[in-house]
């Protein structure tokens, strides 16, 4: 178990534009009700012309720093997890750090592990904090997800960012990170070769043995390690490729619908890949009470899953009011049609 790692600030960002599942289905002459029922999603977030992973990450990180009232110059490590870094060669992390005003003496890296690259950053910073190498670190998950037109992913691939400022001074903890565990394997359920604009997926193979196997194994490993049961947690958050998978895996593990319902932001923003589970966690932290346990499990194709046990502190209710909430981002929106969607996502 970890002894000196906690979240001292968190922030989120969801783009202004939305497209409904019905609008996409209409173009391809599909029944929108069938698709919405199958995926559990009604609309998704879409980046604007002037937005990408870097801009969204910067917005989310700025909110995390604001919540913690910490100068950016105190950050000693900054990691960004994403599948959609704007440059193949040139780090997103240093651009974000430059805008924030981090300075020059910090560790930085862009991380890639499909949709769990953001939680990988949380683990890396947690190790640095626990070892006493740094005092503050920033982990970000951000994506503007790609999807080939007329692929099933087009209905779910969304956009957004979530940032977590971690520290090692317990008096500052909004949320304590108690422990984590991972499960990884070479299971190629989803991939995109260098130079190819859209990812390829293995259809139903992405469920079993990919998503469900890895999420269950990571979760069960952590529960066994800590001698905790699903009933011990107030909330649970699972990666959301759609709204059906997290509900199904929660049921298999013994969590209830009530425990995961507050996290299911996928229904209104789609799957923002590396930001998916982290935005779900943010949604939960915006309603959680002090002293509650939260279970979090991310998933990344290729494949792997990271599970975490978190505990909220008495500082959380007061400080979370300093920044925009997920509910604010969800209400602040403008719907677009399919031609505009193609323009904004650079498909035409």
CA 222 from centre of chain: 20
The catalytic position among 115, 154, 201, 217 is 115
Q: What is the DSSP string of 262-276?
A: GG-THHHH-B-GGGH
Helix (H, G, I), strand (E, B) or coil at 345: coil
Q: Is 239 a catalytic residue?
A: yes
* 348: pLDDT strictly greater than 60: no
pLDDT of residue 50: 95
Query: What mean pLDDT, rounded, does the chain reach?
Result: 95
Q: What is the mean pLDDT of residues 154-162?
A: 97
pLDDT digits (tens, 9 = 90+) for 265-308: 999 999 999 999 999 999 999 999 999 999 999 999 999 999 99
- What is the CATH code for 6-173+318-344? 3.40.47.10
* 43: pLDDT strictly greater than 70: yes
173 or 148, greater pLDDT:
173
182 or 145, greater pLDDT:
182
The catalytic position among 43, 239, 247, 286 is 239
Contact 310, 173 (CB under 8 A): no
pLDDT of residue 195: 77
The catalytic position among 43, 59, 83, 286 is 83
CA distance 122 to 237: 15
pLDDT digits (tens, 9 = 90+) for 107-129: 999 999 999 999 999 999 999 99
Would you kindly state where each structural domain of the chain is located, as residue ranges? 6-173+318-344, 178-315
pLDDT of residue 203: 67
Q: Is 115 a catalytic residue?
A: yes
Instruction: For residue 70, give every residue at least 6 positions away whose Cβ sits within 8 Å of its Cβ, in sequence order, or none.
Output: 8, 9, 136, 165
Q: What is the mean pLDDT of residues 79-88?
A: 95
Instruction: For residue 118, give every residue at least 6 positions away whose Cβ sits within 8 Å of its Cβ, in sequence order, or none.
Output: 81, 82, 111, 139, 140, 141, 142, 162, 274, 275, 277, 278, 298
Confidence at 345, pLDDT banded by 50, 70, 90: confident
pLDDT digits (tens, 9 = 90+) for 193-223: 777 777 777 766 677 989 999 999 999 999 9
Same fold across 6-173+318-344 and 178-315: yes
Q: Is 201 a catalytic residue?
A: no
Task: Calculate helix-pair angle for 117-130, 276-285, nearest 10 degrees.
Answer: 60
Q: What percent of the chain has pLDDT over 90?
A: 90
pLDDT of residue 207: 76
CA dihedral over 35, 40, 344, 207, signed as positive or negative:
negative
Which helix (H) or strand (E) is 316 found in, with range?
Answer: helix 316-319
- What is the CATH code for 178-315? 3.40.47.10
Q: What is the DSSP string of 122-155?
A: HHHHHHHHHTTS-SEEEEEEEEE----TTSGGGG
């Amino acid at each position: 178990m970890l002894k000196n790692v906690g979240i001292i600030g968190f922030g989120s960002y969801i783009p202004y534009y939305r497209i409904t599942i019905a609008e996409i289905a209409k173009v391809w002459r599909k029944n929108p009700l069938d698709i919405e029922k199958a995926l559990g999603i009604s609309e998704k977030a879409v980046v604007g012309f002037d937005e990408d992973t870097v801009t969204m990450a910067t917005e989310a990180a700025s909110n995390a720093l604001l919540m913690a009232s910490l100068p950016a110059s105190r950050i000693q490590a900054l990691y960004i997890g994403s599948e959609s870094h704007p440059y193949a060669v040139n780090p997103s992390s240093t651009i974000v750090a430059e805008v924030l005003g981090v300075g020059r003496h910090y560790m930085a890296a862009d991380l890639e592990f499909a949709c769990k690259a953001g939680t990988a950053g949380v683990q890396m910073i947690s190790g640095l904090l626990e070892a006493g190498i740094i005092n503050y670190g920033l982990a970000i998950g951000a994506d503007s997800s790609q999807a080939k037109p007329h692929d099933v992913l087009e209905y779910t691939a969304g956009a957004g960012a979530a940032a977590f400022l971690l520290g090692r001074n317990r008096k500052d903890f909004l949320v304590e990170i108690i422990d984590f565990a991972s499960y990884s394997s070479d299971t190629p359920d989803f991939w995109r070769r260098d130079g190819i604009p859209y990812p390829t997926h293995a259809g139903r193979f992405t469920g079993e043995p990919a998503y469900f196997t890895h999420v269950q194994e990571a979760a069960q490993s952590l529960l066994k390690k800590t001698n905790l049961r699903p009933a011990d947690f107030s909330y649970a958050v699972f990666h959301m490729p759609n709204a059906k998978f997290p509900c199904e895996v929660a049921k298999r593990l013994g969590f209830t619908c009530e425990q995961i319902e507050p996290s299911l932001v996928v229904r209104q923003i789609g799957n923002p890949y590396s930001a998916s589970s982290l935005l779900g966690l943010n949604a939960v932290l915006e309603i959680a009470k002090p002293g509650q346990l939260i279970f979090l499990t991310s998933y990344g194709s290729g494949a792997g899953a990271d599970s975490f046990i978190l505990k909220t502190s008495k500082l959380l209710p007061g400080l979370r009011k300093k920044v925009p909430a997920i509910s604010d981002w969800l209400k602040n929106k403008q719907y677009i049609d399919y031609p505009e969607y193609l323009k904004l996502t650079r498909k035409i």
